[in-house]
């Protein structure tokens, strides 16, 4: 096992879009965690980033001591319809040579805190059945599997399940939100 890294985690800015796009492109082209087939360009990634930041939702980046980007995580409303306002879905992607060193655990912990601070009350992860590291990461952070949809995805010649894992944030559903949607 490579040694664990304690990354520096900060909020992303639009200047991070090219680095984020580069990290994500590897997973789009070579992996099954993302079911996109064509990697978004840096400009398209900047638009996604701007949308998340514009809503005030968290988008975090992890860096090493030299400032090199190791990964990123963000939370966005689970479904655009207004009633879903307090439910978010997370996404986490690490640079392909930085896996398995505790960076994902650190990013998810920081993302949960930032999502609670925004006011989200539930977090959902939609995880490809082919990704045991992501299932382990989320289970360790308190998520439980709530649904498994069979063979919903097709990529790299395989049918892929999607596993939904969920955890409450903050007060969860025990109190109403500060503002109704």
Angle between helices 103-118 and 132-140 (to 10 degrees): 50
Nearest to 127 by CA among 143, 106, 111, 107: 143
Which of 27, 118, 161, 162 is close enough to bind ligand COA by CB under 6 A? 27
CB of 106 to ligand COA, least distance (A): 7
CB of 124 to ligand COA, least distance (A): 10
CB of 131 to ligand COA, least distance (A): 4
Q: Tokens for 30, please give them.
A: 């070579």
Is 134 a residue that touches ligand COA (CB under 6 A)? Answer: yes
| Part of the chain binding ligand COA (CB under 6 A), chosen from 7-15, 47-55, 129-137, 168-176 | 129-137
Helix (H) or strand (E) holding 157: none
Which of 62, 69, 137, 169 is close enough to bind ligand COA by CB under 6 A? 137
CA dist., res. 122 & res. 120, Å (int): 6
Which of 3, 56, 132, 157 is close enough to bind ligand COA by CB under 6 A? 132
Is 70 a residue that touches ligand COA (CB under 6 A)? Answer: no
Question: Which DSSP string do the residues of 33-88 spell out, in sequence order?
Answer: SS--SSPPPHHHHHHHHHHHHHHT--EEEEE-TT--EEEEEEEEESSSSGGGTTEE
Residue number, nearest CB to ligand COA: 104
| Part of the chain binding ligand COA (CB under 6 A), chosen from 9-17, 79-87, 97-105, 153-161 | 97-105
Q: What is the DSSP letter of 165?
A: E
CA dist., res. 134 & res. 123, Å (int): 14
Is 130 a residue that touches ligand COA (CB under 6 A)? Answer: no
Half-sphere exposure of 27 (CA within 13 A, CB side): 23
CB of 74 to ligand COA, least distance (A): 11
Is 19 a residue that touches ligand COA (CB under 6 A)? Answer: no
Residues that bind ligand COA (CB under 6 A): 27, 31, 33, 91-94, 99-105, 125, 127, 131-134, 136-137, 140
């Amino acid at each position: 096992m490579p040694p664990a890294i304690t990354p520096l985690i900060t909020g992303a800015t639009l200047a991070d879009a090219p680095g984020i796009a580069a990290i994500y492109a590897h997973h789009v082209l070579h992996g099954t965690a993302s079911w996109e087939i064509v990697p978004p360009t840096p400009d398209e990634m900047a638009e996604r980033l701007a949308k998340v930041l514009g809503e005030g939702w968290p988008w975090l980046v992890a860096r090493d001591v030299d400032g090199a980007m190791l990964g990123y995580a963000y939370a966005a409303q689970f479904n655009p319809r207004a009633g879903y306002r307090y439910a978010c879905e997370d996404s986490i992607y690490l640079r392909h040579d930085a896996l398995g060193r505790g960076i994902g655990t650190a990013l998810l912990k920081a993302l949960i805190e930032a999502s609670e601070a925004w006011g989200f009350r539930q977090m959902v992860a939609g995880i490809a059945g082919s990704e045991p590291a992501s299932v382990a990461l989320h289970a360790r952070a308190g998520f439980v599997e709530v649904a498994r949809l069979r063979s919903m995805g097709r990529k790299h010649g395989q049918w892929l399940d999607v596993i939904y894992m969920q955890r409450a944030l903050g007060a969860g559903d025990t109190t109403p939100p500060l503002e109704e949607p």
